[in-house]
Structure 1
């Protein structure tokens, strides 16, 4: 009987220890989850970025993720999707993108823009969009007056700087140095057209 009592007492003790460990583990993991959630919330609150089109563009997002938040770049995002460039511009890069606004696209005749968005015009649309992309992360401080940048499309972009105003071909940079996880975006007020 003494043996049974000891066995039973040991079993109860082990069960109690196991329950205590499990409750500590779940309390601890809940605490860790809460700490991670709090840290993530703190990071997103403290992460600095640039406001574009009513949304904060932050370095933790890639170029496409940031562009998706901008109300000023819905036409550009639609064109990038139509050309099949989302995966490329979401890649590691780094890329520099000169991003025309909706107003810049609106300056193109509607029939021309509508035509470019047709599936059979994908190659032409891709050429135009890749003319807005340069390999590497080129910030405003890296640009010099008279500089030529080679685009992913293979064409050249001419940089002009006068009285602090940066022009890329005929487009004015309206917001510079929008840093993303895979490069830099500069908002421009005109669509750049390759020769």
Structure 2
């Protein structure tokens, strides 16, 4: 019997880390963790991180601030500025143009799950699935969650793999997992 991400999402301990270590680039958000309580929304948390300025600009350009500030619950796989920097030159600037709002919205909503899923729940789904589990996103993408060396990874529709570098940043309307690669829809 397959259990969905939504089913296990609430059955985890808030604030649990799945053997994640704090790499360079995630330290600012982690440091902000000590100063921010779970009373802040996902958007407020991301806006307080100097490692997520590109993500916040993209969320604003896509008109998703109000949605991601809503009651949720949401799980957001939040790419860092460095993750956006891995995209081909000019990609971010092109996506931020008003005429590309639909494409930007699609990419961003493919980083959002309509449930609060802590890393322990995701790890259990991966284990129960024999090493992988499909993750359905708000944007209609289906990514594959896997685990390697105690770290959760997501593979997108184009074969790119993002690693969760900071897990379980519990917020008032869901949870943030920081990732090191922008996930893209299947082409």
**Cα deviation per residue 1:137-180 (whole Å; 9 max; x = unaligned)?**
00100112311110001110110112201101100000000000
1:97 matched to which residue of 2?
A: 76
In 2: Cα distance, 1:110 partner to 1:102 partner: 14
- Given the alignment, which residue of 174, 180, 187 partners 1:189? 180
Of Structure 1 and Structure 2, the greater helix share is in 1
**Cα deviation per residue 1:66-114 (whole Å; 9 max; x = unaligned)?**
1110010000000000000000000000000000000000111231211
Which runs of 5 or more structure 1 residues have no equivalent in the other structure?
1-47
2:50 matched to which residue of 1?
A: 71
Residue 140 of structure 2 corresponds to residue 154 of structure 1: yes
Shift of 1:58: 2.3
Residue 168 of structure 2 corresponds to residue 168 of structure 1: no
Corresponding residue pairs, total: 148
Cα distance change on mapping 1:58 and 1:187 into 2, 3 Å: same
Q: Which has the larger radius of gyration?
A: 1
CA RMSD of aligned residues (A): 1.8
**Contact in 1 for aligned 2:79/2:178 (Cα 8 Å):** yes
Cα distance change on mapping 1:192 and 1:103 into 2, 3 Å: same
Which runs of 5 or more structure 2 residues have no equivalent in the other structure?
1-14, 16-26, 156-160
**Contact in 2 for aligned 1:67/1:77 (Cα 8 Å):** yes
TM-score of the superposed pair, with normalisation by structure 2 = 0.75
- Given the alignment, which residue of 87, 100, 104 partners 2:66? 87
Larger relative contact order, structure 1 or 2 (CA cutoff 8 Å, min sep 6):
2
Instruction: After the TM superposition, list the runs of 4 or more consecutive aligned residues in structure 1 that deviate by more than 3 angstroms.
Output: none
